[in-house]
Amino acid sequence: MHFPRPYAKLFGAAALALAVPLSWAQDVIKIGELNSYKTQPAFLGPYKKGMELALEQINAAGGVNGKTLELVIRDDNSNPGDAVRAAQELLARDKVDVLTGTFLSHIGLAVTDFAKHKKVFFLASEPLTDKIVWADGNHYTYRLRNSTYMQVAMLIPAAVKMNKKRWAIVYPNYEYGQSAVATFKTLLKQAQPDVEFVAEQAAPLGKIDAGSVVQALADAKPEAMFNVLFATDLSKFVRAGTQRNFFEGLPVVSMLTGEPEYLDALGNETPVGWVVTGYPWYAIDTPEHDAFLQAYQKRHNDYPRLGSVVGYNAILSLAAGIKKAGTTDTEALVQAFKGLEVGTPFGKITYRANDHQSTMGAYVGKLAVKDGKGIMTDFTYVDGASVQPTDEQVRQWRPASAD
């Protein structure tokens, strides 16, 4: 079996020869994972495949500290109450050792609070809101994926370079969108004090009235736009905007739009020229990513999406943390994750001790259409460590009680 370099480096070449006897089947480490599989399948289907690949590789190489990893999955129905009940069930009935997962930011916050009160380790794999590691951060919660602050900071240089004064903003009206917009306004104002935000449309998640939103934005005659919409809301918005010629000559910076999960749906309707964060899996040329890509395609007969990488990295992170701690004891894991380094398809990432945020980065580039499909061009990888706030800012934003 082929093992990607990050994993082989993590566990050592000698470990690759080990196998777990069937008699050890009961000697397992249970990972409790909860997520919005029913409502967000475009991202979470590939995410689950990424987790499965990492589990298979780790267990085939001998597991962690002599134990196999087992994944126990629950759906949270995109509802905070259901998420908390699922987390409680994972702990009480399934006897999981750690919790991970969540996609939507308000769900992530609900489980973050649950972890605080139950004093259980929680790795928030995907939710992006800054509150998870800052305002609502706690001793027991770490976060893998780059935050709204980090992704906005990646786009600010392009926004400033556009040198436009009148900006429009469109976003999903829940925690993720609100967090991203607040950061965008703050950072752009700092870099360009004379900027004006002339139109702001907050659409209900999954229920956008695209025609009305486009018309309201167009009426304000913006010179540039910041988009935070994703999934079906994004597709409807792009279609409505294209039909009304709203995007012609309008510079746009956009979060997440370069991810295959959303570009696949846009197809030849992909808005050319938008500056986006995303994942150009088809053009990344590094040993770490090549190894992951080959293993993923061989295992799933499919190409990876960004969700695939997040799911893969979540399991690698938990395995590395448990290995370092030597146990699944909660307090030992909390300490082991401070400064924890993990080899991933995007290179090495580190979990910061000061706010429990990883340095996983993202790709920033421009959208184009090739053979009827949306792609990213002129892209570069932005290391998450380069777009995180200072230690002093973290001390101001994160409650002292969190640590």
Structural domains present in the chain: 5-147+284-361 (3.40.50.2300), 149-280+362-391 (3.40.50.2300)
Token pair belonging to 391: 């230690």
Q: Would you mind telling me the total number of residues written for the chain in this entry? A: 403
Token pair belonging to 172: 């999903």
Q: What's the rounded mean pLDDT across residues 352-372? A: 97
Instruction: Specify the range with the lowest mean pLDDT, choosing from 6-20, 180-194, 202-216, 325-339.
Output: 6-20
Residue 233 has pLDDT above 60, yes or no: yes
Say which residues have a Cβ less than 8 Å from residue 94's Cβ, sequence separation at least 6: 30, 32, 72
Residue 143 has pLDDT above 90, yes or no: yes
Can you list the alpha helix ranges (DSSP code H) found in 12-104?
41-60, 80-92
Q: What is the pLDDT of residue 7?
A: 44
Q: How confident is the model at residue 403 (pLDDT cuts 50, 70, 90)?
A: confident
Q: Which residues pair with 152 in a beta bridge?
A: none
Q: What's the rounded mean pLDDT across residues 246-259? A: 98
For residue 35, which phi and psi values (nearest 5 degrees)? -165, 170
Residue 23 has pLDDT above 50, yes or no: no
Q: What's the rounded mean pLDDT across residues 226-237? A: 97
- Greatest Cα pair distance, the chain, in angstroms, is 69
Q: What's the rounded mean pLDDT across residues 232-261? A: 97
Q: Supply the mean pLDDT for the chain.
A: 93
Asked if 227 and 256 touch (Cβ cutoff 8 Å), the reply is no
Residue 298 has pLDDT above 60, yes or no: yes
Residue 207 has pLDDT above 90, yes or no: yes
Token pair belonging to 286: 């590094």
Q: How confident is the model at residue 401 (pLDDT cuts 50, 70, 90)?
A: confident
Rounded percentage of the chain residues whose pLDDT exceeds 90 = 93
Residue 356 has pLDDT above 50, yes or no: yes
Q: What is the pLDDT of residue 26?
A: 58
Question: Has this prediction a pTM greater than 0.85?
Answer: yes
